[in-house]
Amino acid sequence: MNDKQLVAVQAAQYVQSGMLVGLGTGSTANYFIEALAHRQRDEGLSITTVASSTVSAIKAQLFNLPIVALEHISSIDLYVDGADEITPDKTLLKGRGSDLVKEKLLAKAATQFIAVAEASKLVSHIGQNFSIPIEVMPFAWQLAKKNLEDIGGVGDLRPNAAKDGFWVTSHGSYVLEMSFDKNLDEHTLNARINNTPGVVEHGIFINLASTVLIAQESVIRELKR
């Protein structure tokens, strides 16, 4: 098993019969969906799932996991998802994909949110390895970019895969990828981005992960809040 698979299998051990479980998006989250499906098949675990993306929903359906739509839930028991960066205080950077709005909704709705990752995701501050994905309403992108530049942001619209247009998220937003001064702490940055008109959501997840499972060379470390 590789490290991503190892933490995903470990996270699946937190699931108990009767739970409503949120499914994250990405390669580590995919391993979690598989591990959950194996527990359902082998142990008769009775669970319901809710997906953060179409890709995860399709994967859950393929593995016969019962699934409900996000609009039908008001809380969930457990959410498991990967991350792009994880700081010592368990702030996460997410949103390399197109689904960070649903990811944050599920992270917030969960009684317990377990972030799963390999040790390469550990950083000292948010933005160390990646720019911050900031979803904006398409018609607001230029004004939002200007306001983000006014608070020190540098960046531009995320291009699409063919590099002949712009990336559009699963609900039709553009994504600004912005870097900020590393001395700007994540709480201030979070508040300032939230205060920018036209911003739909962004990839900084503060005070949401209750547990972080980190795998390094087949050894799992559990960081609790």
Return the closest-CA partner of residue 171 out of 85, 71, 86.
71
Q: State which of positions 24-53 bind ligand 5RP (CB under 6 A).
A: 24-29
Which of the ranges 12-20, 37-45, 96-104, 136-144 carries the binding residues for ligand 5RP, by CB under 6 A? 96-104
Length of the chain: 225
Three-class secondary structure of residue 27 per DSSP: helix
Report the residue from 83, 86, 132, 134 that binds ligand 5RP according to the rule CB under 6 A: 83
> How many angstroms separate the Cα of 94 from the Cα of each of 74, 201, 207?
22, 11, 14
Report the nearest approach of ligand 5RP to the CB of residue 214 (Å).
Answer: 13
Under rule CB under 6 A, residue 125 binds ligand 5RP: no
One-letter amino acid of 138? P
Q: Are 144 and 136 in contact (CB under 8 A)?
A: yes
> How many angstroms separate the Cα of 192 from the Cα of each of 102, 114, 183, 184?
21, 26, 14, 10
Report the nearest approach of ligand 5RP to the CB of residue 44 (Å).
Answer: 28
Distance CA 36, CA 198 (A): 37
Report the nearest approach of ligand 5RP to the CB of residue 34 (Å).
Answer: 13
Which of the ranges 40-48, 76-84, 146-154, 170-178 carries the binding residues for ligand 5RP, by CB under 6 A? 76-84
**Cβ-count burial of 26 within 10 angstroms (0-12 exposed, 13-18 middle, 19+ buried)?**
buried
The residue (of 30 and 196) whose beta carbon lies closer to ligand 5RP is: 30
Q: Read off the tokens for 148.
A: 């983000």
Binding mask 133-152 for ligand 5RP (x = CB under 6 A): --------------------
Conformational region of residue 157, where left means phi above 0, alpha means psi within -120 to 50, and beta covers everything else: beta
Under rule CB under 6 A, residue 84 binds ligand 5RP: yes
Report the residue from 11, 19, 100, 176 that binds ligand 5RP according to the rule CB under 6 A: 100
One-letter amino acid of 88? P
The residue (of 24 and 155) whose beta carbon lies closer to ligand 5RP is: 24
Other CB atoms within 10 A of residue 63 CB: 15
Report the residue from 5, 33, 90, 94 that binds ligand 5RP according to the rule CB under 6 A: 94
Options 71, 85, 103, 118, the catalytic residue: 103
Per-position DSSP letters for 132-146, written without gaps between them: EEEEE-GGGHHHHHH
The residue (of 79 and 147) whose beta carbon lies closer to ligand 5RP is: 79
Residue 149 is a catalytic residue: no
- Catalytic (active-site) positions: 103
Q: Which residues bind ligand 5RP (CB under 6 A)?
A: 24-29, 81-84, 94-97, 99-100, 103
